[in-house]
Structure 1
Amino acid sequence: MTFGSYEEFWPYYVAMHSRAATRWVHLAGTLTGLALAAYGLGRGRPRYLAALPLLGYGAAWPAHFLIEKNNPATFGHPAWSLRGDVQMIRMMLAGRDAELAETAAKWLADNR
């Protein structure tokens, strides 16, 4: 799919994470990667920065294949997907997961 802006892409991105389990696997992988990266920086071990993409994508991509039964949006839109992941995780941490589920359901209903 092609999109003219991130704002057009966002509902699609959320729809590719329509199942709560997929979103929570993303959150867990990203936060674990961030924690290890921060730990590594704090301990003077910059190689730990590799934990962020390894754990983030390492958890997220299998969730797409096994839970969501789709391909990660990252494959077609890497920069917007990274931005979407950050926005999605921020919303989840703010207790707005139900809003994400609604956005996903609406996009899927309108685009099937």
Structure 2
Amino acid sequence: MDRRKAIQTMYASFREFYPFYLSEHRDRICRRLHFVGSTLVLITLAWLAVSGRWALWWLLPLFGYGCAWIGHFFFEKNRPATFTHPLYSFAGDWVMYAAMLRGKISF
């Protein structure tokens, strides 16, 4: 699917969106950066919960999106789907993360 057409597509469901999402993550380094960012988010969230330092919540998107966007701009050479489909893209990050943990998607 042409990237410009995909951007304009309104997906009726996450199930329709996810194949497009995966097609935007073909580069292994990009996927690895997504994984690192998501792991940092989970570690930071646990640390915030234990320490009670909720004023540092802004670190969550910095780690998560920062790592992912570096992967997209420098390795995948595309625009993150977050810009056009933020909720589906957020869900796609976690579905892909779980698939990588289970070995369904390679690092």
TM-score, scaled relative to structure 2: 0.86
Kindly indicate whether the alpha-carbon contact (under 8 Å) linking 1:36 and 1:48 is maintained by their aligned counterparts in 2.
no
Q: State the identity as a percent.
A: 40
1:9: which partner in 2? Answer: 17
Distance 1:50 1:37, change over 3 A: farther
CA deviation vs aligned residue, 1:33-87 (integer Å, no higher than 9, x gap)? 2211210220111123322211000111121010000000000000000000010
* Distance in 1 (alpha carbons) for counterparts of 2:19 and 2:83: 17
* Corresponding position: 1:95 with 2:103: yes
* Distance in 2 (alpha carbons) for counterparts of 1:83 and 1:29: 14
Structure that is richer in helix per residue: 1
1:42: which partner in 2? Answer: 50
Moved segments of 4+, more than 4 Å: none
Identify the match of residue 57 of structure 1 among 48, 56, 65. 65
Structure 1: runs of 5+ lacking an equivalent: 102-112
Q: Secondary structure at the match of 2:57?
A: helix
Q: Secondary structure at the match of 1:97?
A: coil
Give 1:97 shift.
1.3
Identify the match of residue 76 of structure 2 among 68, 92, 95. 68
Q: Which amino acid aligns with 2:96?
A: M
2:41: which partner in 1? Answer: 33
Q: Secondary structure at the match of 2:78?
A: coil
* Distance in 2 (alpha carbons) for counterparts of 1:29 and 1:8: 25
Structure 2: runs of 5+ lacking an equivalent: 1-5
TM-score, scaled relative to structure 1: 0.82
Q: Secondary structure at the match of 1:61?
A: helix
Q: Secondary structure at the match of 1:70?
A: coil
Q: Which amino acid aligns with 1:90?
A: A
